Amino acid sequence: MKITFDWLKDHLSVIDKEEKLLEKLTDIGLEVESVENLSEGLDLFKIAKILKTEKHPNADRLKVCDVDVGEKEIKKVVCGAPNAKEGLITVYAPPGAVIPKNKTKLVIAKIRDVTSYGMLCSESELNLSEESDGITELSSSKYNKSIGKSFFTQSSSNLIDLSITPNRPDCLGVRGIARDLAASGFGKLKQIKEQKIKSKKSQTIKVKITNEKNQGCFSFGSCLVTNVKNTESPKWLKDKLISIGQKPISAIVDITNYVMIDINRPLHAYDADKIEKGIIVRNSKSGEEFTALDNKNYKLEDDMCVISDDKGVLGLGGIIGGTRSGTEMGTQNVLIESAYFDPRSIRRTAKKLNIDTDAKFRFERGIDQLSIEEGLSKAAFLIKEICGGEISKIDIQKVSTFKNKIIKFDPNLFEKVTGFKILTKDMLKILDNLGFTCKKDKKVFKLTIPSWRPDITQAIDVVEELVRIVGYDKIKIEEPTKERKKSTLTQTQKLFHFLQRSVASKGYLEAITWSFTDAKYNDHFKGQNDELKIVNPISSELGVLRNSIFSNLIMYMSKNIDRGFKDLSIFEIGPTFFGKQPGEQNIVVCGLAAGKKSRHSWLEKERNVDVFDIKKDVVQTLVEAGYDSEKFFIDDKTPDYYHPGKSGRLFLNRGKESVAAFFGEIHPNIIKQIDMKTESLVGFEIFLDNLKLPKKSLKDQITKYSISDYQKSERDFAFIVDKKINVQDLVNVISNVDKNLISNIKVFDVYEGDNIPENQKSIAISVTIQSQEKTLKDADLDQITKSIIETVENKTGAKIRS
């Protein structure tokens, strides 16, 4: 909502300065967004006279004019306007001036080899009107003595842009803002006497509101002004509209705009002669069409509130009028409409047709239902004053009658909600100033809500009114108590934080990427999931919810590699989605590592990061989070975006409940398809929701501390086994030979090739044997060694290598 202090003063007697006003506005909830000096620089625009015109030597349509701008020197200005001729008084803008319409700053320019010092302006360029066919023509009788003077009268009033919250339609009018200010002690609201229409002429255009379901119009007031002469608005009206950044059009249109802004009463003016018989306010039928004042053709659906005549739709009630019945300069008879439309109906229609207008904005927030007459008479008298003519009686049709809301308010509620007290006397004064009527009923107020406040429906709204006007700075600070009754984080949340920092501590940079992604990338990683499309994405590259974090991470990894980085590890912890219903999401820790280890190292040989690097990160993270790696079970069944032979799936134990993690090389085809330039790319996904939480907290987990001081022995074995045998299985077989005595098993070599039969491999394992009860004798050791060899050979078909 744009206002000026000057306009406010039409409604407010006040001596305070603008600075104080700005502060007060924000304090009472009418936030000042910006303050702009519209007239800044406008003093540069001078009234000037063309002394002579010559044809431009190099352009047929251009003229070179000698212009008197009231200085000694005559300015040479190149001008293309057909009406530029000797003796014309017009508006001159010198180099350095900023053209109001397009905000461009003028410079001394050569136009086809002729230097032009400034410019002669059209009304359109000066935002005075839409007229852009020629330069401004000023009447010589009026301006002949003003050559060289500033064209614009300086306005000291700044343009103040307020951010009005959607609950305050009343403050979409200057008077509403003035009322709020007065209630808060900033000035006094001027009483403006309403001028009543006392005409004997009746309004001859018949208006009917159809009585049907979903009728969006509750009441329709109208007034006919006959024999008018539409004209340019007088200066005071033009200045008023220009002062808030609007462009004057014609007196009739300007008047309706003025009334709308002044008292938030949207009106519509029809050329009465263009209305075929009477006006019918009804619901539209699907397929009806009309051309609106924005010059667009709209196809209507069922049940949109339209103003129509015998020939069809004239306009969308409360949203936009049509071209067919619009007023023009030649309009002789004007029908003014002042109606009330249902906010919900307005909103529904405007949304469907995607129209946004000033009227729509106001009606959908709720217009004062009792302002119909005031609006009509205000506009009618102004039209009569400016355009002449005769005013008819006011005609009001309605399908429902407005009644002011009445609510009961217990003044004690104020302190209960705000924590501080104000005197009942002060409460009553504030409410009175805001337009409430109060009746004290024992200890409770019976409040009649002003018709312009549709937002106030219950007692709590009254509290807000009071505290807003008294000032939020009066609310006392209650220091918070440092008391915790419930633990801050749940087990899952703790695990989230732990995993996040655990992965980061392994050299991964944490990234946060969008929860949506490019379907093209997502396709590689969606596995068995459905594609989850967003209906209205911001762009097609962000068109689907991510089924996996990999899509985004790989895309960004690729970008970083393009930036010239080679050895990178990044990760993200966040949601992935498997359905479109709330809750159909998982928390995943997803990591990606690219490039080499020990690149260009003077110490070590460089190598690609590989599946065992990433496996270490996954296993270590899970172990740090408190899971027992002895129990982990790993197989090679992974989604198809992993390298089928170099990836794994990890379960927290052999029971194979849900997958705790996937890890491995990213499938080379994907790397190729997304054209990523890297020597190696490995990744992992840890599924937080699949990690079982310990039932007891750490302090309650009884951990028996037991160590053995008896001597331990190590025995090394080398088995030759079928290539298909997993080391995990082999180790498992060994550990089951004697769980009491075998305390550790370590794989220290895997070998295929020379001296080993085809399709077989040699696995070297070191087994630590130790008893909790005694020092083992050679015989015991021999016994268990023998047992290990026999069991492994029997169960896996391995052969001990001698």
Partner 1 sequence: MSDIKNIRDQFVSKLKNELSLDEINSIKTELFGKNGQISSLFKTVGSIPESDRKNFAADLNKIKDELQSLILEKIKEIETKEINQKLEKERVDITLPGRPFVRGKIHPVSQTIDEISSIFSEIGFSVEEGPDVENEYNNFTALNTPDNHPARDMHDTFYLDEDKEVLLRTHTSPVQIRTMLKDKPPFKIIAPGRTYRSDSDQTHAPMFHQVEGLHIDKNINMGHLKGCLNYFIKEFFEVEKIKMRFRPSHFPFTEPSAEVDIGYEIKDGKIVIGEGDQWLEILGCGMVHPNVLKNVKVDPAKYQGYAFGIGIDRLAMLKYGINDLRAFFDCDYRWLNHFGFDPLDVPTNYRGLSR
Q: Does 2 bind partner 1 (CB under 8 A)?
A: no
**Using the rule CB under 8 A, which residue among 400, 601, 711, 794 binds partner 1?**
601
Shortest separation between residue 370's beta carbon and partner 1, angstroms:
21
| Residue 594: strand, helix, or coil | strand
Q: Closer CB to partner 1, residue 365 or residue 526? A: 365
Q: Closer CB to partner 1, residue 149 or residue 677? A: 677
Size of interface with partner 1, in residues (CB under 8 A): 98
Quote the DSSP letter at residue 150: B
Cβ 32 vs Cβ 161: under 8 Å: yes
Binding positions for partner 1, 548-567, rule CB under 8 A = 552-553, 556, 559-560, 563, 565, 567
Shortest separation between residue 463's beta carbon and partner 1, angstroms:
6
- Provide the CB-side half-sphere exposure for 353 (13 A, CA): 31
Q: How far apart are the first and last CA of the chain?
A: 93
**Cα dihedral 503→507→510→515 (10° resolution):** -70
Q: Does 463 bind partner 1 (CB under 8 A)?
A: yes
Q: Does 536 bind partner 1 (CB under 8 A)?
A: yes
Q: Closer CB to partner 1, residue 135 or residue 353? A: 353
Q: Does 754 bind partner 1 (CB under 8 A)?
A: no
Q: Closer CB to partner 1, residue 28 or residue 138? A: 28
Q: Does 698 bind partner 1 (CB under 8 A)?
A: no
Q: Does 705 bind partner 1 (CB under 8 A)?
A: no
**Using the rule CB under 8 A, which residue among 161, 232, 273, 461 binds partner 1?**
461
Q: Closer CB to partner 1, residue 250 or residue 357? A: 357
Determine the interface stretch with partner 1 among 11-19, 77-85, 339-347, 521-529 (rule: CB under 8 A): 339-347
How many whole angstroms separate alpha carbon 500 and alpha carbon 553? Answer: 16
Cβ 579 vs Cβ 589: under 8 Å: no
Longest CA pairwise span in the chain (Å): 131
How many whole angstroms separate alpha carbon 178 and alpha carbon 173? Answer: 9
Q: Does 693 bind partner 1 (CB under 8 A)?
A: no
Pair type for strands 544-545 and 516-517 = antiparallel
**Cα dihedral 346→351→357→358 (10° resolution):** 50
Residue type, 8: L
Q: Provide Rg for the chain, Cα atoms.
A: 41
Shortest separation between residue 619's beta carbon and partner 1, angstroms:
17
**Using the rule CB under 8 A, which residue among 425, 485, 695, 699 binds partner 1?**
485
**Using the rule CB under 8 A, which residue among 133, 441, 584, 782 binds partner 1?**
584
Q: Does 209 bind partner 1 (CB under 8 A)?
A: no
Cβ 761 vs Cβ 754: under 8 Å: no
Determine the interface stretch with partner 1 among 69-77, 266-274, 484-492, 651-659 (rule: CB under 8 A): 484-492
Phi, psi of 542 (to 5 degrees): -125, 45
How many whole angstroms separate alpha carbon 680 and alpha carbon 80? Answer: 67
How many residues are recorded in the chain? 802
Q: Does 616 bind partner 1 (CB under 8 A)?
A: no
Q: Closer CB to partner 1, residue 269 or residue 609? A: 609
**Using the rule CB under 8 A, which residue among 147, 205, 542, 781 binds partner 1?**
542
Residue type, 606: E
Structural tokens at position 779: 């015989």
Determine the interface stretch with partner 1 among 330-338, 395-403, 429-437, 573-581 (rule: CB under 8 A): 573-581
Shortest separation between residue 457's beta carbon and partner 1, angstroms:
9
How many whole angstroms separate alpha carbon 613 and alpha carbon 611? Answer: 5
Question: Which strand (E) or helix (H) includes residue 282?
Answer: strand 279-283
Binding positions for partner 1, 222-241, rule CB under 8 A = none
User: Where do runs of H (alpha helix) occur along 368-423?
Assistant: 372-387, 412-418
Q: Does 343 bind partner 1 (CB under 8 A)?
A: yes
Shortest separation between residue 506's beta carbon and partner 1, angstroms:
6
Cβ 462 vs Cβ 405: under 8 Å: no
Name the packing angle between helices 18-27 and 174-183 (round to 10°). Answer: 90
Q: Does 286 bind partner 1 (CB under 8 A)?
A: no
Q: Closer CB to partner 1, residue 209 or residue 463? A: 463
Q: Does 505 bind partner 1 (CB under 8 A)?
A: yes
Question: Which strand (E) or helix (H) includes residue 242?
Answer: helix 235-243
Q: Closer CB to partner 1, residue 35 or residue 534? A: 534
Determine the interface stretch with partner 1 among 90-98, 398-406, 580-588, 678-686 (rule: CB under 8 A): 580-588
Q: Does 404 bind partner 1 (CB under 8 A)?
A: no
**Using the rule CB under 8 A, which residue among 60, 113, 604, 630 binds partner 1?**
604
Binding positions for partner 1, 163-182, rule CB under 8 A = 165-168
Contacts of 720 by beta carbon, 8 Å cutoff, 6+ apart:
756, 757, 760, 761, 762, 798, 799, 800, 801
Determine the interface stretch with partner 1 among 80-88, 315-323, 493-501, 739-747 (rule: CB under 8 A): 493-501
Q: Does 751 bind partner 1 (CB under 8 A)?
A: no
Q: Does 421 bind partner 1 (CB under 8 A)?
A: no
Residue 260 CA, distance from chain mean position: 29
In this structure, the number of other CB atoms found within 10 A of the CB of residue 319 comes to 28
Q: Does 771 bind partner 1 (CB under 8 A)?
A: no
Query: CA nearest 408: which of 435, 440, 432?
Result: 440
| Residue 13: strand, helix, or coil | strand
Shortest separation between residue 462's beta carbon and partner 1, angstroms:
10
Contacts of 41 by beta carbon, 8 Å cutoff, 6+ apart:
97, 98
Determine the interface stretch with partner 1 among 52-60, 119-127, 199-207, 416-424 (rule: CB under 8 A): 416-424
Determine the interface stretch with partner 1 among 112-120, 220-228, 331-339, 414-422 (rule: CB under 8 A): 414-422
Pair type for strands 544-545 and 568-577 = unpaired
Beta bridge partners, 437, equal 448
Cβ 69 vs Cβ 63: under 8 Å: no
**Using the rule CB under 8 A, which residue among 146, 204, 332, 585 binds partner 1?**
585
Q: Which residues of 625-640 are buried (b: 16+ CB within 10 A; e: fewer)?
A: bebeeeebebeeebbe
Binding positions for partner 1, 17-76, rule CB under 8 A = 26-29, 31
Shortest separation between residue 265's beta carbon and partner 1, angstroms:
19
Q: Mark 649-678 with x for binding to partner 1 (rule: CB under 8 A) and - for no binding.
A: ------------------------------
Q: What is the 3-state secondary structure (H, E, C) of 164-186?
A: CCCCCHHHHCHHHHHHHHHHCCC
**Using the rule CB under 8 A, which residue among 12, 50, 292, 570 binds partner 1?**
570
Q: Closer CB to partner 1, residue 315 or residue 366? A: 366
Q: Does 800 bind partner 1 (CB under 8 A)?
A: no
Q: Closer CB to partner 1, residue 81 or residue 568? A: 568
**Using the rule CB under 8 A, which residue among 501, 654, 774, 786 binds partner 1?**
501
Determine the interface stretch with partner 1 among 246-254, 535-543, 747-755, 784-792 (rule: CB under 8 A): 535-543
Q: Does 153 bind partner 1 (CB under 8 A)?
A: no
Binding positions for partner 1, 345-384, rule CB under 8 A = 347-348, 364-365
How many whole angstroms separate alpha carbon 686 and alpha carbon 588? Answer: 6
Cβ-based burial of 330 (10 A; exposed 0-12, middle 13-18, buried ≥19): exposed
How many whole angstroms separate alpha carbon 608 and alpha carbon 597? Answer: 6
Q: Does 458 bind partner 1 (CB under 8 A)?
A: yes
Q: Mark 510-529 with x for binding to partner 1 (rule: CB under 8 A) and - for no binding.
A: xxxxxxx-------------
Contacts of 377 by beta carbon, 8 Å cutoff, 6+ apart:
194, 195, 196, 197, 223, 394
